[in-house]
Amino acid sequence: MGEPVVVVNNVSKKYRLYHERNNSIKIALLRGGRAKLDREFWALNDVSFEVTEGSTTGLIGENGSGKSTMLKCIARILRPDKGSVTVTGKMSALLELGAGFHPELTGRENVFLNGAILGLKQKELQERFDDIVDFAGIGQFIDEPVKNYSSGMYVRLGFSVAINVEPDILLVDEVLAVGDEAFQRKCLERFKYLKDNGKTVIIVSHAMSSVVNMCDHAVWFKHGQKMADGVPREVVEAYTGSIVMDRPASGSDTGDRWGSGEAKIDRVELIGRAGETIKRFPSGDPLTIRLWYSTSEPVPRPVFSVAVQTLQGIVVTNPTTREADLVPEKLDGVGHVDLVLAHCPLLPDTYDLTVSVTDFTMAHPYDVRRNVVRFDVDRKGRHEPAGIVSFGGTWALR
């Protein structure tokens, strides 16, 4: 890494929040020309960090934490109320894709207009025009007015123009999810090309795996303050570990529930290494999932099941007692059934549990409790940079 090319020094930025604004000249005159100021909101508060030449830096944090405001201060769109931002080199910002596009002009005309706004000369645009169109995948629609484009075509063309400026410093605000899967891959390849050619990239992203894999440096923002600054994996772990989500209490009737009711799952517990009830544990630790049941009448050949899901609804695993040959001839009374994991292979994230007890065919539910428990898995030691579960294998190179 080279010398610092972006130096953020004790930057603070405030916004004025108004209780009532003057929406007309008449209202302004009646109020004496003044809107009613409610309060001042500090979007950034005494933030300092450096970005070195040729590095890729990720700015992370929850919505409203100050990431985008920081990026706009670096891009000189906003002026800090306190502190300073020093930038060395040619800079281009992908803050709002397609900003500067005129809806009545064709894609071709907008490429030259937008490229000129971003600092490219006419000759440079002519040389790069075919690459821009090919990258955007617009093809035969390049001579159509952009008002007729789909939203995907519109942002792809805007991204393609901006990415072909090839600046010394590129600022990117949450545009890694532009377009379809194929276009996203092209975008990532383009970022790799910029990085391999010594360009400095600063991105705002909510995709933590992308930050860990793509970045050399990360900064975590919270309520306008810098919370951590350093190695991406460590900063991401600090950020994700700080997130506390509202979750249903174990044993309460939360989430969806249905079934005929002859047998019920009254309570679900996660039991940790020391036998304590937990809702958070490190990846790879032992775990017992305990289902407390009761019956109102004898139930023949019942089957218990546990489904682990990501917050996006992806089912990670769905083991049942039928596959484990643990099906009693009859269930009567109260008790519990345990699913014991010597090492839980889930990678760090937040997960939901859905549990059920059914008849042997699994077609008739006695009790199904959807998303009855939410739990967190923390990082412990080295793990895969992305995914849901760890294979836990060992590498060998000969």
- 238-254: b (≥16 Cβ within 10 Å) or e: ebbeeeeeeebebeeeb
β pairing state of 4-20 and 82-87: antiparallel
pTM: 0.68
- Residue 39 Cα to chain centre, angstroms: 30
Q: Where in the chain is the domain with CATH 3.40.50.300?
A: 4-242
Q: What is the pLDDT along the chain (398 residues), one digit of tens a residue?
A: 578 999 999 999 998 776 566 566 666 666 555 555 557 889 999 999 999 999 999 999 988 899 989 999 998 989 999 999 999 988 877 776 666 688 899 999 989 988 887 777 888 888 889 988 888 888 889 999 988 888 778 878 888 887 777 788 888 886 555 566 777 777 778 878 888 888 899 999 887 777 887 889 999 999 999 999 999 888 887 887 776 554 444 444 445 889 999 999 999 999 999 999 999 999 999 999 999 999 999 999 999 999 999 887 889 999 999 999 999 999 999 999 999 999 999 998 889 999 999 999 999 999 999 999 999 998 777 777 778 898 888 889 99
- Sign of the dihedral through C-alpha 267, 272, 276, 279: negative
Among candidates 157, 147, 148, which has minimal Cα distance to 111? Answer: 157
Rounded to whole angstroms, how far apart are CA atoms 143 and 110?
A: 10
Rounded to whole angstroms, how far apart are CA atoms 326 and 339?
A: 11
Q: Which pLDDT score is estimated for 244?
A: 56
Q: What CATH architecture applies to the domain 4-242?
A: 3-Layer(aba) Sandwich (3.40)
Residues 6+ apart with CB under 8 A from 334: 266, 292, 293, 294, 295
Rounded to whole angstroms, how far apart are CA atoms 7 and 86?
A: 5
Rounded to whole angstroms, how far apart are CA atoms 44 and 303?
A: 55
Residues 6+ apart with CB under 8 A from 389: 316, 345, 346, 347
Rounded to whole angstroms, how far apart are CA atoms 189 and 28?
A: 53
Six token digits for residue 359? 């008849």
The residue type at 169: I
Characterise 301 by phi-psi region: left (phi > 0), alpha (psi -120 to 50), beta (else).
Answer: left
Dump pLDDT digits (tens) for 59-88: 999 888 999 899 999 989 899 999 999 999
Q: Where in the chain is the domain with CATH 2.70.50.60?
A: 257-378
Among candidates 295, 289, 283, which has minimal Cα distance to 366? Answer: 295
Q: What is the CATH number of domain 257-378?
A: 2.70.50.60
**Three-state DSSP string of 363-388:** CCEEEEEEEEEEEEEECCCCCCCCCC
Six token digits for residue 364? 């008739």
